[in-house]
Structure 1
Amino acid sequence: MNWAELVGAALLGAERRTPPGGSVEALLDAAAVETVRRRAGLRPAAAAPRPEPAPADPRPALPPAAARRLALLLTDRSGGAGGRRGTAPDLAELLPQWLAAANTHGYRAPAEQLPALLDAARARTDLRSPVLALGGPRARWLARLNPDWRFALRGRDTGLPGDGTAAGAGADRTAVRRLWEEGLFAERSALLVSLRRHDPAAARELLAGTWSAERAEDRLMFLDTLREGLSPDDEEFLERALTDRSRTVRSTAAELLSALPASALAARMAARARACVAPDHTGGAVRLAVEAPYECDAGMQRDGVAPRPPAGRGERSWWLSQVVEAAPLDTWAGHLGGRTPAEVTALPVADDWEQELHTAWARAAVRQRDAAWARALLGKPSAPMATVPGDPAKLLTVLPPRERAEWAAEFISAHGLSEAFRVLGVCAVPWAEPLGRAVVDALEIARDAGSYPWSFSGVMGLAERCLDPAQADRLAPLTAVPDEPEDGSPGAGGYWAEAFQRLVATLRLRATMLGELEPGPGPGESPGEGGGTAQAATDPT
């Protein structure tokens, strides 16, 4: 019986047909004999050329304790989705923080851990940039040998890094042009991002050269890369994009131009906004009178104003919001008697236009990164979040990190944690002392009230990653099971104790992790111990 017949009989199965030889054992015996015969008949093949050695990486090796920690972070599966988590830290959620700290120190990844690092980056796009920074040239060398890691090769052979970090000035222009013209979309997009970071003019020139031949969806994605490092030098290109045949491309170009206060589009929008909003001095106190546009003419549409409103939205209010959002915020000081943003937003607005006007200003403050306007629109943290126009979390991102943390801390102290998740997510890590203290106090209040901790699982998860590790000792007393109030949820105290135990354990682990990354011998190691010898023995060269 030949090989094809044996394979066919095995695939069909003994349940459907009696196998050759009358039994499964006979079939397997025949397959074993035929396998030996086939292998014996193979002719030796010419050996494939050996790959070029991996490039040198002169950066210092990880301290031994940190290398062992990385291995644990890459293999641990204790953090699971759903169910009761227990007291063990979720190591998978700490990996991004560990990578960021290791890259700050300028270490290189252990060669033997490069495959696991690349696998982790393949599964989680948020890890790709820090993994490729830690892996360096050897990670990209290794990625050439496995198609699953091709994401690491974007920007290959161009002199630009594959991780999208700042590139040097020695890029190979011919290779850059070839990759731009022949590469896959993901490769071209990554190339444009990397090039944009160190040579914006070259990136813009590359994009302009093939702009008319690109698909509409690709033009939109490529145009979005101009957000980083946006400057007046981009205005000419963006003005041309205002006439693009795709509405979404035109809208994005207009949005970018409106973020340049000195652009011609910003000036046109400012003129339209001044025509819509004016001070009204009748009746004594000054108020703002609003006259929304009566039509969306061709000029407005060219400048990115969408003529059709979303369902349930009036046309005139829709046009007004887009005009005000795109107008430079500096417009209003001169137009409204030199008033500050706080004074402008405090003015009463006639005919129920206040919410519409303030929401448009909030979006403009985020787009133009104007802290004074963001501060004025956020108002006092003691006020309910519903009174803040637009998205409070986005407005907070415009403020300096310290002020952001102080505002969030006051908000939590006044309102608790029920609406705090969005606000906490935009605060710098580790949380500053006032914010960390406010979060812990609010969690303790919720525990003492007898509610279940599941309602606060999102905040607790953020606290594990974002609280200053120095807070661990202060939190230790909260790991005990508290007395349950009479009106509390049954068993809630035990769950809270478990949650605080996990929080304390995670904070202490984070402190240990950061300490292991410090240069010098790790805990329990002599000064002579180091990772250099082991690293050299396992390097791919």
Structure 2
Amino acid sequence: MVATALLGTERRTPPGAAPGAEPAAALLDAAAVATLRRRAGLRPAAPRPRPAPAPPDTRPPLPAAASRRLTLLLADRLGPGSGGGRRGTAPDLTELLPQWLSAANRHGYRAPAALLPALLDAARARTDLRSAALALAGPRALWLARANPDWKFALRGSVPPAVPEPSGPGVPSAPAADGAPVPAAEPPGGAEAAAAARRLWEEGLFAERVALLDTLRRREPAAALALLDATWRTERAEDRLMFLDSLRTGLSGADEPFLERALADRSRNVRATAAELLSALPGSAFAARMAARAASCVFLDPAAPVPLLTVVAPHTCDAAMQRDGVIPKPPSGRGERAWWLGQLVEAAPLSCWTERAGGRSAAEITALPVADGWQPELHAAWSRAAVRQRDAEWSRALLGSPSAVSAAAPGTASPGERTRLLSALPPDERAGWVAGFIAAHGLPDAFQLLGVCAVPWAAPLGRAVVDALDIAREAGSYPWSFSGVMGLAERCLDPAEAGRLELLTAATDEPEGASPGAGGYWSEAFQRLVRTLRLRRTMLDELAGRA
């Protein structure tokens, strides 16, 4: 048959062809018969165990409208009734999918079984979706991932439901003969899961071990520390650094003995990270040592006619300071003494300054004059300390009034420094400060600040952003400079603001000197913003069963 097909039926008659039959049809008939014979004659394969059924997922199913919405979001296309139109005014569904997943998880829904493959594919393509997507997919996603190597990433973040508890109040008090920590009695029914966790920690890939440690720190900090301590001495320096960084989650006084040992690590980066973590524990012995050093460098001048802070920077960086994580060699452009001073002050507990300053508050201390031009260095170090220790009072004092902040403000000279200080404030206060900053200074330096504000934005912050965008539109400002803020507004503005923004969607006459095409761009951008807000409202209604 192969030879006949290659030579052509005009030159060779197909085998078994009936007299008078069409040669080409006869060849195809013969091929079909041969194929059927071959399939029917296959020997049966050796039997294999039937796959275990997928585990049950008892969470409630998505409402029908929300399920259809998820299908559209995963397909990255607009559905009926969501507006259509050109892409320039259409909502960006890829940016709305993370919000939809978070909202669905807050309701406690499970993903439709038919959408699990698409959900896993989306999580594979976008790491920012993985946590929320796997939470919605639930145990059946792990069941599927075991059968498809493309989805093995889902298994890396899966952690057994129980792990061994360490002995003692926090860190294991004594190692076993093999150097591993001695666990306390395991909870009933937890032996198998505890063994699985230990096996994954000892045999898993690096990414799997990091995921395991991060998950356990959120759930059982002491148990995670016990696993880390068991293999600490055999880990590579770069791995020790990553593992140590995971202790930021659930950091407590129980971690102090382990971190004190890490101060003697062979790796300078590991020592520095251990010192940073210890400085976030104001009651630690490390914090007391750094407080004593910092207090000898910064003090109130008893001879000054008015309260004045005097700074005497360290003259040397001795071995004890280096053992506590002080890096002796400064970066290019920094003086040694200023470099050492900054490290001492940022590692000292902020409470020590209240004691040293006669009970003054943080606002009163930061308002004191500093002799010999040391104020920028001192305030910058206090800012880093406030961020490490998550101290709202000191962050508030160092930020000052949002309307009075200038580019040269001590301690908050850059948007990045202001952003880190803002993260220590309560969400409502954070939003209010940023709203005041935007009202006073506009949007050019506000993008990073907006990124740390809770979503949806509080009403005062939303109004401040919209007013600033409207001012830029009226002035004919270069519109593409505000695309980042406009994108944030689409994701973060309260959907209730859509009605108020409708007036801004109309195209306006461009003022003299405006950027060419600015009017049309602003109209298009505000149309997209309004439509996105309305779509977000519809999505929330669907998840709540109101649509």
Give the shorter-chain TM-score range.
0.7 to 0.9
Partner residue in 1 for 2:335: 314
Matches within 5 A, 1:484-499: 484-499=510-525
**Equivalent pairs, count:** 488
Partner residue in 2 for 1:122: 124
1:376-432 CA-partner distances (Å, limit 9, x unpaired): 000110122441514000100101000001100010000111111011010000000
- 2:213 maps to 1:195: no
RMSD of aligned residue pairs (Cα, Å) = 2.6
The structure 1 segments of at least 4 consecutive aligned residues displaced by more than 4 Å after TM superposition are: 35-43, 168-171
What are the ranges of 5 or more consecutive residues in structure 1 without an aligned counterpart? 3-19, 79-83, 162-167, 524-541
1:70-115 CA-partner distances (Å, limit 9, x unpaired): 111111168xxxxx95000001001111111101100000011111
**Counterpart residue identity of residue 375, structure 1:** R
Partner residue in 2 for 1:11: none
Matches within 5 A, 1:40-119: 43-76=43-76, 86-119=88-121
Contact 1:379–1:388 (Cα < 8 Å) also in 2: no
- The percentage of counterpart residues that share the same residue type is 70
Contact 1:371–1:399 (Cα < 8 Å) also in 2: yes
Instruction: Provide the rounded CA distance (Å) in 1 between the counterparts of 2:104 and 2:242.
Output: 32
Contact 1:132–1:152 (Cα < 8 Å) also in 2: yes
Contact 1:287–1:348 (Cα < 8 Å) also in 2: yes
**Counterpart residue identity of residue 507, structure 1:** L
Change in Cα spacing, 1:250 to 1:157, as seen in structure 2 (3 Å) is closer
**Counterpart residue identity of residue 480, structure 1:** A
Instruction: Provide the rounded CA distance (Å) in 1 between the counterparts of 2:372 and 2:52.
Output: 74
Change in Cα spacing, 1:245 to 1:170, as seen in structure 2 (3 Å) is farther
CA-CA distance at 1:123 after TM superposition: 1.5
1:40-84 CA-partner distances (Å, limit 9, x unpaired): 986442244331110111110000000000111111168xxxxx9
Structure 2 residue matching 1:289: 3-state secondary structure:
strand
Partner residue in 2 for 1:420: 446
Structure 2 residue matching 1:278: 3-state secondary structure:
strand
Instruction: Provide the rounded CA distance (Å) in 2 between the counterparts of 1:218 and 1:501.
Output: 49
Change in Cα spacing, 1:458 to 1:379, as seen in structure 2 (3 Å) is same
Instruction: Provide the rounded CA distance (Å) in 1 between the counterparts of 2:141 and 2:153.
Output: 11
Matches within 5 A, 1:360-509: 360-382=381-403, 383-387=405-409, 389-390=411-412, 391-509=417-535
Partner residue in 2 for 1:293: 314
**Counterpart residue identity of residue 389, structure 1:** G
**Counterpart residue identity of residue 495, structure 2:** P
Which protein shows a greater Rg?
2
1:129-152 CA-partner distances (Å, limit 9, x unpaired): 111111111111111111121121
Structure 1 residue matching 2:453: 3-state secondary structure:
coil
Higher relative CO (Cα under 8 Å, sequence separation at least 6) belongs to 1
Question: What TM-score, normalized to structure 2?
Answer: 0.85
Instruction: Provide the rounded CA distance (Å) in 1 between the counterparts of 2:340 and 2:376.
Output: 15
Matches within 5 A, 1:214-225: 214-225=235-246
Contact 2:159–2:212 (Cα < 8 Å) also in 1: no
**Counterpart residue identity of residue 49, structure 1:** P
Structure 2 residue matching 1:230: 3-state secondary structure:
coil
Partner residue in 1 for 2:146: 144
**Counterpart residue identity of residue 468, structure 1:** D
Instruction: Provide the rounded CA distance (Å) in 2 between the counterparts of 1:156 and 1:451.
Output: 49
Partner residue in 2 for 1:358: 379
CA-CA distance at 1:327 after TM superposition: 0.2
- 2:228 maps to 1:226: no
**Counterpart residue identity of residue 53, structure 1:** P
Partner residue in 2 for 1:9: none
Partner residue in 2 for 1:534: none
CA-CA distance at 1:192 after TM superposition: 1.3
Instruction: Provide the rounded CA distance (Å) in 1 between the counterparts of 2:384 and 2:445.
Output: 20
1:465-492 CA-partner distances (Å, limit 9, x unpaired): 0000000000001000012212222221
Instruction: Provide the rounded CA distance (Å) in 2 between the counterparts of 1:238 and 1:492.
Output: 56
Partner residue in 2 for 1:206: 227
The one of 233, 241, 245 aligned to 2:262: 241
CA-CA distance at 1:156 after TM superposition: 4.9
What are the ranges of 5 or more consecutive residues in structure 2 without an aligned counterpart? 13-26, 79-85, 164-186
CA-CA distance at 1:280 after TM superposition: 1.2
